[in-house]
Amino acid sequence: QKSTFIRPDAAPRSETWYEAGAIPGRLRIDLGDPTKGNGALYRGDSVYSVQGGKVVDRRAGRNPLMILGFDVYAQSPARTLDLLQDEHLDLRVLHTDTLYGRRVYVVGAGPNDETTNQFWVDTERLLFVRLIQTDPQRRRTQDIRFENYRKHGDGWVAEDVKVYSGGRMVFHEEYSDVRVNVDLDPDLFVPEKWSTARHWYKP
């Protein structure tokens, strides 16, 4: 994927990242050349940072985009509800709205509230399209959009992900060469085996 960082005081900076997911609950992101051994791993309730093939940080956490965009289709509704509540989403609040001319369900906030944690789902296709979430530590609200859904295998993948903050786009992911049902080495998702696992990517 092409990952572009956008700042108001500098030219956009782009990198190539390589992602592999094992649904539910596991996502590996190689930042730049996979042979360099740098990246991030989401596994269960933990997030690992890897540099030079070594784990340099581990913390509790999940990727809510993974839960809403992928895991929801591969685990029980009860499990998904539990995970979303951990993300401080009030699942009792629901209304409908529109996004890009399409009707959506909005879960977690009332009408005209775009600051409370919430997620949006296309009412017809039942695809996740938007997450608004505030980081309480940084006091920063992010508005994340899943766009340009394409059919891959039996499912759908958003090939454009846009992140807005303060009313402007700050990050853009553009996915290409998306493949599904790939035979992945389970060790890809073991942080201690980051550099020894059989990697799926071949230049």
The residues that bridge with 2 in the sheet, in sequence order, are: 16, 174
pLDDT tens profile 99-153: 999 999 999 999 999 989 999 999 999 999 999 998 776 678 999 999 999 999 9
3-class state of residue 189 by DSSP: helix
Backbone phi and psi for residue 68, each to the nearest 5 degrees, phi listed first: -80, -35
- Residue 4 Cα to chain centre, angstroms: 15
Report pLDDT for 173: 98
**Other C-beta atoms within 10 Å of 69: how many?**
24
* Domains and their CATH numbers in the chain: 2-193 (2.50.20)
pLDDT tens profile 181-195: 999 999 999 999 999
Report pLDDT for 52: 97
pLDDT of residue 175 exceeding 90, the answer is yes
Report pLDDT for 138: 62
Distances (CA, A) of 19 to 97, 124, 135, 140, 173: 32, 28, 24, 26, 11
Report pLDDT for 203: 57
From the list 31, 36, 40, the residue with the least C-alpha distance to 1 is 31
pLDDT of residue 95 exceeding 80, the answer is yes
Q: Tell the burial category of 170 from Cβ atoms under 10 Å away from its Cβ (0-12, 13-18, 19+).
A: middle
104: enclosing H helix or E strand? strand 102-107
pLDDT of residue 11 exceeding 70, the answer is yes
Mean pLDDT of the chain: 95
Report pLDDT for 112: 94
Report pLDDT for 139: 75
